[in-house]
Amino acid sequence: METLYPRLILDALSNVRYPGNGKNIVELGMVEDDIRIDGNTVSFSLIFDKPTDPFVKSLVKAAETALTTYISPEVDVKDRIGVKFRNPNPAPRPDNPLKGVKNIIGVSSGKGGVGKSTVASNLAVALARMGYKVGLLDADIFGPSVPKMFGVEDEPIYAENVDGREMIVPVERYGVKVLSIGFLVDRNSPVLWRGAMASRALNQLITDALWGELDYFLIDMPPGTSDIHLTLVQTLAITGAVIVSTPQEVALADARKGLAMFRDDKVNVPVLGIVENMAWFTPAAHPDERYYIFGRDGAVKLAEEFGVRVLAQIPLVGSICEGGDSGAPIALRDSITGEAFMNLAGNLVEAVDERNRALPPSAKVETHS
Ligand SMILES: Nc1ncnc2c1ncn2[C@@H]1O[C@H](COP(=O)(O)OP(=O)(O)OP(=O)(O)O)[C@@H](O)[C@H]1O
């Protein structure tokens, strides 16, 4: 066998490619400058970014094989390749950034404009009226309407220094702690740009905000299925999802996609139930009459199909819309409609209790970078 020298070793190792980017381990700087040669015996180290690199074992094996194949089968390198990591202890992501929060509920819809924010806002107020500690995060980048529904659009947002970290203080209204993506991302900027900004801004609203102790943390999610949903399930262990739909066919078709997304193996968020909004129209002058203008019981049938609860049927009434516009959700009032949202809150509490008894806590969705 010819005499070994470092260049020969490096030339042989340049045949080993890092899976994924196709570059060889020498040009990637993965071969440490510690090659030792003693007769036929060769030892050196390979440097990986982090211990979680999935290719550590296979690349060590490939490097051994490269030396015995391209130089000589007599090269003695087996079990002599060390492994080092540039970031041996990557800062662990906080497992649950909301330590004091018991239940995280995503309020979602397949289609825009079905009343998801109205339901989320009234549900939050109703839970607070029942005595629970409630937070509401408006994550709907396409139409952040929670600030308007709570009348806090022009409220200044303060930060408080906690242990050297600037923490955002949620606005408190009607017993609910509220923050909205609309506070951070300019509502007049184009949707595309907002999308790019949104994931970071959302993370900030979750991890850099003083949510404190909460029984229920509601998230008004964007309609449909999007990157924002992925960001949320990766940042938070969501207890369960509530799907809002009208009885209309097009809304139901989209709600079905939303249900499938939450149930997907990779997302795996339990669906707590469906809220049928605008279930019927009741004119103010004829409170006993019901007109099924968007169809009848569509969401109820969808719930049956997927084996989930109907958490509430909310009628289409002028006072719900007025409540939203005036910044005072209808659930604050003791009216028939206010009562509908109190019932929804009661049913949700039951569904969450049942879910927590039957299933282990949700886990965040892990992805490989
Ligand atoms: N049950 C209801 N009765 C009367 N008006 C309603 C009802 N539900 C929602 N609305 C009104 O419908 C409009 C849309 O509601 P909302 O903003 O809650 O929908 P959304 O699904 O969150 O929409 P987006 O996807 O744009 O965020 C609002 O003006 C709201 O006041």
**Among the listed residues 159, 144, 152, the one whose alpha carbon sits nearest the alpha carbon of residue 125:** 152
Q: What are residue 302's DSSP bridge partners? A: none
Contact 303, 310 (CB under 8 A): yes
Q: Which residue CA neighbors atom 30 of ligand 1 most closely?
A: 321
Tens of pLDDT along 107-143? Answer: 999 888 899 999 999 999 999 999 999 999 999 887 7
Pocket of ligand 1 (CB under 6 A): 109, 112-118, 140, 143, 145, 223, 277-278, 314, 316-317, 320-321, 324
Hey, what domains does the chain have and what are their CATH numbers?
6-85 (3.30.300.130), 101-358 (3.40.50.300)
Spatial separation of the C-alpha atoms in residues 262 and 68, rounded to whole Å: 50
Contact 228, 199 (CB under 8 A): yes
More confident residue, 303 or 191: 303
> Ligand 1: which of 108, 109, 111, 117 to mutate, most ligand atoms within 8 Å of CB?
117
Tens of pLDDT along 10-58? Answer: 999 999 998 767 789 999 999 999 999 999 999 999 999 877 677 888 8
Q: Is the pLDDT of residue 198 over 80?
A: no
Atom of ligand 1 nearest to the CA of 244: 21
Is 110 within any annotated ligand binding site? yes
pTM: 0.74
**Among the listed residues 222, 216, 213, the one whose alpha carbon sits nearest the alpha carbon of residue 180:** 222
Atom of ligand 1 nearest to the CA of 223: 25
Q: Is the pLDDT of residue 363 over 50?
A: yes
Contacts of 339 (CB under 8 A, 6+ apart): none
Q: State the sign of the Cα–Cα–Cα–Cα dihedral 228, 229, 233, 239.
A: positive
Q: What is the pLDDT of residue 189?
A: 62
Q: Which residue CA neighbors atom 2 of ligand 1 most closely?
A: 316
ipTM: 0.97
Spatial separation of the C-alpha atoms in residues 69 and 364, rounded to whole Å: 44
* Two tokens, residue 319: 């006072």
Q: Residue 134 C-alpha to ligand 1 middle, in angstroms?
A: 21
Task: Give the lowest-confidence range in 9-13, 261-265, 339-343.
Answer: 261-265
Spatial separation of the C-alpha atoms in residues 61 and 46, rounded to whole Å: 11
Q: Would you state the torsion angle of the CA atoms of residues 106, 104, 157, 223, taken in this order, to the nearest 10 degrees? A: -10
Q: What is the pLDDT of residue 369?
A: 43
Question: C-alpha angle 56/58/60, rounded to 5°?
Answer: 70
> Ligand 1: which of 321, 322, 335 to mutate, most ligand atoms within 8 Å of CB?
321
Q: Is the pLDDT of residue 368 over 60?
A: no
